[in-house]
Structure 1
Amino acid sequence: MSLNVIDLIKGQLGPNLVSQAASQLGESESGISKAIGGLLPVVVGGLANNHNNPAVLDAVSDASSSGVLGNLLGSSSNNSFISNLLSTIFGDKLNGLISSIATYAGISNNSSSSLLNLVTAATLGSVGKYAADNNLDKSGISNLLNDQKSVVSGLLPAGLSLASLNMGDWDARYKFDNDGDAIQMPSEEEPKVQVTRSTAPNGTFPERNNDSGGSIWKWLLPLLLLIAAGYFIWKQCEKKETTITTTVTDSGTVVTDTVNSVSSADTTAAPAVAKVDENIDLNGTTLKGYKGGMEDMMITFLKSGSYKNAANDAALKDTWYDFDHVNFKSGKGNELEAGSEGQLQNLVAILKAYPEAKIKIGGYTDKTGNESLNLKISKERANYIKDWLGKQGVGAQVLEAEGYGSQFAKVDAKASDEERKTDRKMSVRFAK
């Protein structure tokens, strides 16, 4: 399975940046989030379709040293280089794309254009950083971008399609597929249809033989319909997977709950529509987070009185909540990815709203690499979050931080990076 570079970019476009962009552009945060969710797969798809373009490869190669990720709002606004690159990628479809996203998200065309530049800068910076970290040359970058054709086509949010973005011709000429075949360009000439006149004697027409072609369709058409119906039912059943949540107890055992999942991480292998932050109510205070995400589930648990009524820590230790937005830089135990602090601020707000609540932090890695190093990094990351929360005035509510390394990882080390990412996470649970 190919690496989905959209997962690399999401960490750069978290709640803090959405809030700043909304303030700077004079738009609602929901509109900004909606626009970004629509632009991400389009930009990545555009780069994928130009994976051999020297201008694209130069832009990605130079992005890692340009510092673009450190100042996305500043570096992406009025950036003629990015504007020229977008014109190269989308051509005469660019204005239609900007207008369609503006209508879809309920924002102005100027805001849509600025966000397109911002998303493009975030994409170039994220892919450039990944390429630098993994020593990819331009050939490797080209292959990485080309691989996105197999994952990006299903990521447009509901309500958007390439046709609705005034990009129907682009869709036809640059078809996303999964088989790696060469892209088939449509023919420049329409086929000519020849019309002949019957010369049957006396103006009569030959009698149609209904026993040949017609009789075949009498049984072939129902058979084809039956096959199509069976395939549809099979695909629907394939989608209905049981949600399984694996949690780690303090005794080191693994508890599997096949009914009530509290993990907010996406564990499916198929590409998913980009999540969009929504308003989460915290006793009258609005937080930005996913419905069904970490904040939403923790607040629901606290409001229900379940924490207050828990007799002891044993009643709480089997339920962990995964962070949606908190990510550390590759191989680092003390450096957060940009956009990660927003969700930590949300956790601070929750703890301050419920001062009696206590928590424990857990860090996990996948099965790759040296296990002693995995334990060290996961412990450092858990302690980093504990110390960070302490600096925000809620340190007394964080009882413990523990790193488990790859002890509870489920995905084989030889699996793709996309599959292994479910094992790389930071989690939190309530404690007493």
Structure 2
Amino acid sequence: MSLNIIDLIKGQLGPALVSQAASQFGESESGISKAIGGLLPAVVGGLANDADNPHVLDAISRSSLNGVSGNILGETSAQSDIPGILSSIFGDKLNGLINAVATYAGISNNSSGALLNVVTAAAVGTLGKYAADNNLDKTGISNLLKEQQGNVSGLLPAGLSFASLSMGDWDARYKFDNDRDQINAPAHEEPKVDVTRSVAPEGTFPDRKTDEGGSIWKWLLPLLLLIAAGYFIWQQCEKKETTITTTPTDSGNVVTDTSTVTSPANATGQTVTATKVDEDIDLNGTALKGYRGGMEDQMIGFLKSDGYKNAKDDEALKTQWYNFDHVNFKMGSANQLEAGSEGQLQNLVAILKAYPDAKIKIGGYTDKTGDEAKNMKLSADRANFIKSWLDKQGVGSQVTAADGYGSEFATVDASASDAERATDRRMAVRFSK
């Protein structure tokens, strides 16, 4: 079994760097963590592609002189090899990679580009140190990189693929998927095919049908082709992306909330995933910034429909939870919100003030990693922190309870990447009586 160099590199990109990068770039820690989770396999894959490139091998060999820097984030800009390496391994796909990861992680393109430099520096430094520790020359480094080709394709986090990175056939060409038996070269490298036309001798013409049946096909065949093309286009436009959210109830049951978003096809026939964009959500004439179909929109819709007013008791309400879209805590903290979290909490305050008879309950959840007793305490402390925060805003009397569920309802395995497990680390709210 070949060494998975990605596991070594992860040691340089841990929680301390995530926290420092979030502060330096003005992003959330969860966004930084997601971006790193997407960039790392892409960078290692790119280096594996160029395993025989002298420029890449020289840069790794030079880095072996000093090993991995203790301050990758602070010294990345001073490493002149990084831009050349990125240009070499990604070429004109570089901006596509940066933009796609920025969209996936919910961070700016500038932050995504800066993180790409950091991840590349960590990869090159780690490879260099490993080469030095194991007396690998450039041939040994090249072989080590080639061994990574079988490790890369399965390491991208859920919701991210090489196709979504605008890489086209990048992964197919370089055998990142070992299950593929045939590797197609990019279109610009396809062998040229000469087409020869057969020409009848001058003065001779093939026989043509002039009967009634032959004339029908002249208009019927194009009509059938037109109908088929129209049906194909209609089918593509009807493709839908379905997002399934599982939400725990107080009784331990899980409620599945499914929302469907129509995704039109692009020119290549591929389905385009709709991106959530903040817009104005109407609260009785007041505009709140939120996602269409997000927490605020769903809660306001439920209140306007008299769903809360008509609910006889708490049992009728306990199966419907609303996940916060933007409220996140700093990693391991129960009293420090990430930047941008208070905006959605203010929206919740506005909703409660507009409907003073409505009451809510707060729920906190963690992923499956760590000690469960600590997870229970952390999730409960976070839920109570939000309850106290709402109390300071004058709506505390409308919060009936705040409970922590730890990892009881987590669905992602503890061995998954941090970006994948982020879906289990959430805060939610439901109406109560």
TM-score range, shorter chain: 0.5 to 0.7
- Residues in 2 aligned to 1:255 and 1:95: alpha-carbon distance in whole angstroms: 41
2:427 maps to amino acid: M
1:337 equivalenced with 2:338 (yes/no): yes
How big is the shift at 1:363? 0.6
- Residues in 2 aligned to 1:370 and 1:382: alpha-carbon distance in whole angstroms: 18
Going from structure 1 to structure 2, the CA distance change for 1:148 and 1:256 (only over 3 Å counts) comes to closer
**Alignment map for 1:188-337 (pairs within 5 Å):** 191=191, 243=244, 245-249=246-250, 252-256=251-255, 261=258, 274-337=275-338
The answer to whether the 8 A contact 1:410-1:423 is kept is yes
1:288 maps to amino acid: K
**Alignment map for 1:24-423 (pairs within 5 Å):** 85=83, 89=87, 116-121=109-114, 147-148=155-156, 151-155=160-164, 162=166, 171=168, 179=177, 191=191, 243=244, 245-249=246-250, 252-256=251-255, 261=258, 274-415=275-416, 417=418, 419-423=420-424
Cα root mean square deviation, aligned: 6.2
Match in the other structure for 1:225: none
Going from structure 1 to structure 2, the CA distance change for 1:289 and 1:137 (only over 3 Å counts) comes to farther
Going from structure 1 to structure 2, the CA distance change for 1:273 and 1:356 (only over 3 Å counts) comes to same
The answer to whether the 8 A contact 2:349-2:390 is kept is yes
How big is the shift at 1:299? 0.9
Going from structure 1 to structure 2, the CA distance change for 1:373 and 1:313 (only over 3 Å counts) comes to same
1:318 maps to amino acid: T
Match in the other structure for 1:35: none
Unaligned segments of structure 2, at least 5 residues? 1-5, 28-34, 49-55, 101-106, 131-147, 199-238, 262-271
- Residues in 1 aligned to 2:78 and 2:280: alpha-carbon distance in whole angstroms: 35
How big is the shift at 1:296? 1.0
How big is the shift at 1:374? 0.7
Going from structure 1 to structure 2, the CA distance change for 1:174 and 1:311 (only over 3 Å counts) comes to closer
Match in the other structure for 2:425: 424
Q: What is the SS of the residue equivalent to 2:393? A: helix
The answer to whether the 8 A contact 2:363-2:402 is kept is yes
Q: What is the SS of the residue equivalent to 1:400? A: strand
- Residues in 1 aligned to 2:383 and 2:37: alpha-carbon distance in whole angstroms: 32
Going from structure 1 to structure 2, the CA distance change for 1:279 and 1:385 (only over 3 Å counts) comes to same
Going from structure 1 to structure 2, the CA distance change for 1:285 and 1:91 (only over 3 Å counts) comes to farther
How big is the shift at 1:97? 11
Match in the other structure for 1:218: none
How big is the shift at 1:320? 0.8
Going from structure 1 to structure 2, the CA distance change for 1:51 and 1:388 (only over 3 Å counts) comes to farther
The answer to whether the 8 A contact 1:334-1:381 is kept is yes
Going from structure 1 to structure 2, the CA distance change for 1:279 and 1:402 (only over 3 Å counts) comes to same
Q: What is the SS of the residue equivalent to 1:393? A: coil
Going from structure 1 to structure 2, the CA distance change for 1:331 and 1:123 (only over 3 Å counts) comes to farther
1:429 maps to amino acid: R
* Larger-Rg structure: 2
Q: What is the SS of the residue equivalent to 1:430? A: strand
2:160 maps to amino acid: V
Going from structure 1 to structure 2, the CA distance change for 1:96 and 1:426 (only over 3 Å counts) comes to closer
Going from structure 1 to structure 2, the CA distance change for 1:357 and 1:91 (only over 3 Å counts) comes to same
2:327 maps to amino acid: V
Going from structure 1 to structure 2, the CA distance change for 1:44 and 1:124 (only over 3 Å counts) comes to same
